[in-house]
Amino acid sequence: MTDIVFRVPVLFEYAATFIWAVSGAVVAIQKRFDITGVFVIALLSSSGGGLVRDAVFLQRTPSFLVSPVYLPIVVAATLLMTLFTVTLTNVIRAETVKKLVDVIDALGTPAFAVVGMQLAADHGIPIFGVLFVGVANGVAGGLLRDVVVRDVPALVRPGQFVSLMLLFACALFMVLTQRLGVDPPRAAWITVGTYFVLRVLAVRFNWQSRPILSDTDGAVSVPPDTHA
């Protein structure tokens, strides 16, 4: 694969970046960060996946530094939430914002994961590495955000199988393109649609993973330190 033949529509890409930046800014404001902290968390939420993909795995200049659009979008989201948080929370219900973020996430996460996989394949990375880059592209932003604000990352907490569903969607894209000969743009939209349906079903029926050790099982006993 020498050309990236599937691209996220540019307006959707900008909208997704803005929404993810807003969601990160909201988290930072709730943590009582100043405006610098709000910008950093907004940037990590919106561009963290691409940053990890480009700087760590593909060793190229991150996309948000190449394009003149992404940083202004993050700055706009930061200023909007910093200046109008109180007004917006009085006008727009938190449930509405959450649903909007969930919809953007359910569409944007697999779309950008597909782009990440194509870039990884273009760099000659083996198939399992391509899958890993695709999943990392989708979840790294939230992971970096949670680590910086000192929350247990949502990726490792019991939840609605987001990472497993994304892994399934990435594997589906690889099967469609590598085994069944489906052209990448069609395979990409099948992948996005499949992930979106799975996310909707998970929310609708509250499909969630469970902790290995539940509260009723009691705490794991730790032997006393005999070297104290």
- pLDDT category at 2 given cuts 50, 70, 90 is very low
SS3 88: helix
pTM equals 0.81
What CA–CA distances, in Å, run from 42 to 23, 35, 120, 136, 146?
7, 10, 25, 18, 12
CA–CA dist 58, 25 (Å, integer): 28
CA–CA dist 199, 58 (Å, integer): 29
Supply the pLDDT for residue 158: 86
- Phi-psi region for residue 124, left (φ > 0), alpha (ψ -120 to 50) or beta? left
The residue type found at 212 is I
- pLDDT category at 92 given cuts 50, 70, 90 is low
SS3 210: coil
The string of pLDDT tens digits covering residues 114-131 is 989 999 998 999 999 999
User: Which comes out higher in pLDDT, residue 23 or 52?
Assistant: 52
The residue type found at 198 is L
